């Protein structure tokens, strides 16, 4: 199997159309996009530890201050697919730099906000800018890299996703510890400004210039339908702390109906040979895309929610400071970072088996952590749980980056932005479910029993259920791949590989 073939761009139409030549600046350009992606994903979780300080300083209500977190997540998710399509049509470099510049401006506006209303407005705009930037990251990787290099690049991208999610509470606590005083929370936003400005300057120099694809038409009805559908699914979740799920439950079926209409509209555009916002053939003819998107969505339900549960347990149950609470889960972040980089080099060799092994490691690690925190003496519980958390982190590193690589590697480069946006939209939906459901379950058990340990174990058990569902899907896909390869095997070490491209639909 050649590297080009394994990447899905060797014999396919994209390879012939683009005449791929390695960009000499591709690795430096990758680091620019990774830094920008790290900032945007970090801002999902880093702000959470500062909410009590923000509430006191700006005299905000709990419902108002919750929008500082949930509003960012909402606009982030709403922008992803549209932003990916615009990047495909108008140029990924152009959209990336504009979005990054907006992210810097709105970060400064968040830090300078004099009241909660302006802070929430700035956070909504900041999330929108982050959502426009995010799909360009994975699309630029597909544009800049081929073969084994693409796997390594996605490995670094996966490490960035894992580290940013896991270290948000740690870095947030560190910033608050260094910037003491009631106004110290503002530095959580200000820290983005110098880093973002440097990334813009380097991006202008290093990111490749590309001609417009000639597909500049954007499906506006599709944008409205998709945005309305995603809003219907996410809005009750981001309002969960104020009773949104019980009060706005009807938005779930309404959003699902709108998304069904969106799918029908996209299929109609394809039948008319028009340009859809999200080509349905990504899910039906691009091998591995639908399964990978499902694995990612289910995994992020548990992956994103456990950090809030750990923070609640350590801070409210054990009396830890935000910084100490974040440090307690650092072993997971370290294991995830190291494993993700290694996994990027192994995904071409082991394929979906890597994801299966990673999910087994996450389930074993977090399951063991739950048992240790339940039964070990409280004064040593975080210490004895550290090795199990590290194992879970290693497993996570073998899930996120290989799954991203396998989900996107067969996608034609011309569709890379929309495909990456759709993949991340599923992850954001999963994260919204997890961050709403798991802390809610923690509080339900705590209110009934007063037992912080029991609440932790129950919430982690729910997170593991999502991960086990993701594992079942990965195992099914791995076994299906083995059965499909068996009749065509030509020698023990070589399996013919014929990528299926969306253009062939």
- Confidence band, pLDDT 50/70/90 cuts, at residue 194: very high
**Domain 23-218+277-483 = CATH 2.70.98.40:** no
Question: Helices (DSSP H) in 113-219: which residue ranges?
Answer: 116-144, 147-178, 187-190, 192-206
- Confidence band, pLDDT 50/70/90 cuts, at residue 392: very high
What confidence score (pLDDT) does residue 130 get? 92
What are the domain boundaries of the chain?
A: 23-218+277-483, 219-276
How far the first Cα of the chain sits from its last, in Å, is 24
Q: Around Cβ 488, how many Cβ atoms within 10 Å?
A: 10
Q: Are 85 and 218 in contact (CB under 8 A)?
A: yes
Q: Are 86 and 417 in contact (CB under 8 A)?
A: yes
Rounded to the nearest 10 degrees, the angle between the axes of helix 416-449 and helix 62-90 is: 160
Instruction: Look at the alpha carbons of 58, 60, 62, 66 in this order and tell me if their dihedral is positive or negative.
Output: negative
Per-residue pLDDT, averaged over 260-289, amounts to: 82
Comparing CA positions, the residue from 289, 482, 411, 491 lying closest to residue 14 is: 411
Q: How many CA atoms lie within 13 A of 230 on its CB side?
A: 26
What confidence score (pLDDT) does residue 11 get? 32
C-alpha to C-alpha distance for 499 and 11, rounded to whole angstroms: 8
Model confidence at 112: pLDDT above 60? yes
Q: Which of 36-45, 61-70, 241-250 is predicted with the least confidence, judged by mean pLDDT?
A: 241-250
C-alpha to C-alpha distance for 290 and 16, rounded to whole angstroms: 25
What confidence score (pLDDT) does residue 51 get? 76
What confidence score (pLDDT) does residue 214 get? 47
* pTM value > 0.85: no
Partner residues linked to 494 by β-bridges: 491
- Confidence band, pLDDT 50/70/90 cuts, at residue 15: very low
Per-residue pLDDT, averaged over 271-285, amounts to: 80
Instruction: Look at the alpha carbons of 461, 467, 473, 476 in this order and tell me if their dihedral is positive or negative.
Output: negative
Q: Which helix (H) or strand (E) holds 347?
A: helix 330-350
What confidence score (pLDDT) does residue 241 get? 64
Per-residue pLDDT, averaged over 380-409, amounts to: 87
**pLDDT > 90 fraction of the chain, expressed in percent and rounded:** 19
- Confidence band, pLDDT 50/70/90 cuts, at residue 359: very high
What confidence score (pLDDT) does residue 166 get? 65
- Confidence band, pLDDT 50/70/90 cuts, at residue 124: very high
Residue 450 burial class via C-beta count within 10 angstroms: exposed 0-12, middle 13-18, buried 19 and up: exposed
How do residues 223-262 score in pLDDT, each as one tens digit? 888 888 888 887 787 766 666 677 777 888 898 899 899 8
Cα-to-chain-centroid distance, residue 323 = 24
- Confidence band, pLDDT 50/70/90 cuts, at residue 19: low
How do residues 435-482 score in pLDDT, each as one tens digit? 777 887 888 888 888 888 888 999 899 899 989 999 999 999 888 877
Q: Around Cβ 486, how many Cβ atoms within 10 Å?
A: 9
Q: Around Cβ 452, how many Cβ atoms within 10 Å?
A: 19
**pLDDT > 70 fraction of the chain, expressed in percent and rounded:** 88
C-alpha to C-alpha distance for 503 and 505, rounded to whole angstroms: 5
Task: Locate 289 and state its tokens.
Answer: 């895309």
Model confidence at 21: pLDDT above 90? no
Per-residue pLDDT, averaged over 307-335, amounts to: 82
Q: DSSP character for 490?
A: -
């Amino acid at each position: 199997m050649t590297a080009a073939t394994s990447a899905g761009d060797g014999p396919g139409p994209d390879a012939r159309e683009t005449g791929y030549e390695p960009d000499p600046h591709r690795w430096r350009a990758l680091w620019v996009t990774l830094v920008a992606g790290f900032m945007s994903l970090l801002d999902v979780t880093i702000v959470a530890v500062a909410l009590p300080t923000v509430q006191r300083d700006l005299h905000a209500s709990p419902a108002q201050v919750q929008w500082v977190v949930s509003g960012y997540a909402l606009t982030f998710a709403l922008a992803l697919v549209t932003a990916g399509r615009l990047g495909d049509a108008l140029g990924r470099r152009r959209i990336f730099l504009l979005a990054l510049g907006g992210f810097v401006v709105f970060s400064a506006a968040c830090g300078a906000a004099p009241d909660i209303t302006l802070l929430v407005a700035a956070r909504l705009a900041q999330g929108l800018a982050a959502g426009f930037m995010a799909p360009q990251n994975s699309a630029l990787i597909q544009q800049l890299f081929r073969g084994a290099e693409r796997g390594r690049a996605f490995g670094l991208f996966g490490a960035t996703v894992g580290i940013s999610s896991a270290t948000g509470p740690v870095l947030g606590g560190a910033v608050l510890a260094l910037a003491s005083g009631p106004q110290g929370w503002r530095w959580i936003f200000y820290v983005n400004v110098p880093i973002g400005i440097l990334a813009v300057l380097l991006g202008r120099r290093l990111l490749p210039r590309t001609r417009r694809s000639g597909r500049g038409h954007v499906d506006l009805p599709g944008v409205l339908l998709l945005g309305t559908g995603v809003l219907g699914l996410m809005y009750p979740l981001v309002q969960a702390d104020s009773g949104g799920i019980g009060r706005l439950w009807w938005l779930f079926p309404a959003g699902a109906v709108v998304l069904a209409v969106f799918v029908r509209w996209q299929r109609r555009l394809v039948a008319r040979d028009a340009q859809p916002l999200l080509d349905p053939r990504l899910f039906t003819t691009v091998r591995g895309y639908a399964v990978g998107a499902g694995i990612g969505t289910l995994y992020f339900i548990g992956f994103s929610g456990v950090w809030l549960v750990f923070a609640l347990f350590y801070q409210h149950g054990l009396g830890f400071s935000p910084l100490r609470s974040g440090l307690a889960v650092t072993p997971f972040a370290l294991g995830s970072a190291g494993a993700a980089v290694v996994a990027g080099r192994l995904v071409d060799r082991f394929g979906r088996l890597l994801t299966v092994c990673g999910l087994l490691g996450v389930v074993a690690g977090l399951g063991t952590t739950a048992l240790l925190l339940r039964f070990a003496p409280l004064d040593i519980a975080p210490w004895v749980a550290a090795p199990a958390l590290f194992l879970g982190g290693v497993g996570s590193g073998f899930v996120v980056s290989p799954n991203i690589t396998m989900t996107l590697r067969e996608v034609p480069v011309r569709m890379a932005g929309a495909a990456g946006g759709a993949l991340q939209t599923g992850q954001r939906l999963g994260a919204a479910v997890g961050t709403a459901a798991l802390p809610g379950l923690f509080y339900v058990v705590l209110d009934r029993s007063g037992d912080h340990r029991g609440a932790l174990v129950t919430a982690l058990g729910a997170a593991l259920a999502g991960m086990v569902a993701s594992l079942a899907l990965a195992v099914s896909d791995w076994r299906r791949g083995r059965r499909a390869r068996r009749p065509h095997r030509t020698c023990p070490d070589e399996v013919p590989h014929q990528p299926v491209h969306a253009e062939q639909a």
